[in-house]
């Protein structure tokens, strides 16, 4: 097992439907995008996908993303913005869940 990484990729809205298909394809395959539970966000007219996985997995993911003409890894500042957004949502969800049983 490799080191766990968080990465963000970005594409134009025109590729959103194909991105969803790529994520949903082969959900039970060992290297399936669906098994990594990626999170999709639409921000400022772009579609972002956040993936947390072992570093080796990203070779597979980037090969899949070659099928999407506008897909690329997000710039560092963009990537950090989306990662921070995801972390904040996860913290808020965990806090809300704790309140149910609190």
Q: For residue 48, give the nearest of 91, 90, 77, 26 by alpha carbon.
A: 77
Query: Residue 27's domain is classified under what CATH number?
Result: 3.30.70.120
CA distance 43 to 100: 30
Does the structure show a pLDDT above 80 at 34?
yes
User: Domain span at residue 65?
Assistant: 4-101
What number is the average pLDDT over the span 13-36? 90
Instruction: Compute the mean pLDDT over every residue in the chain, rounded to the nearest whole number.
Output: 90
Question: Which pLDDT score, from 0 to 100, does residue 29 have?
Answer: 87
Domains identified in the chain, total number: 1
Residue 79 and residue 96: Cα distance in Å, rounded? 26
Per-residue pLDDT for 35 more than 80? yes
CA distance 23 to 89: 21
């Amino acid at each position: 097992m490799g080191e766990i990484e968080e990465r963000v990729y970005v594409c134009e809205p025109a590729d959103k439907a194909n991105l969803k298909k790529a994520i949903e394809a082969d959900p039970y395959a060992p290297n399936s995008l669906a098994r990594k539970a990626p999170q999709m966000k639409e921000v400022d007219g772009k579609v972002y996908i956040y993936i947390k996985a072992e570093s080796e997995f990203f070779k597979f993911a980037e090969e899949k993303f070659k099928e999407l003409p506008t897909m690329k890894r997000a710039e560092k500042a963009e990537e950090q913005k989306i990662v921070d957004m995801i972390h904040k949502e996860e913290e808020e969800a965990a806090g809300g869940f704790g309140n149910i049983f609190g």
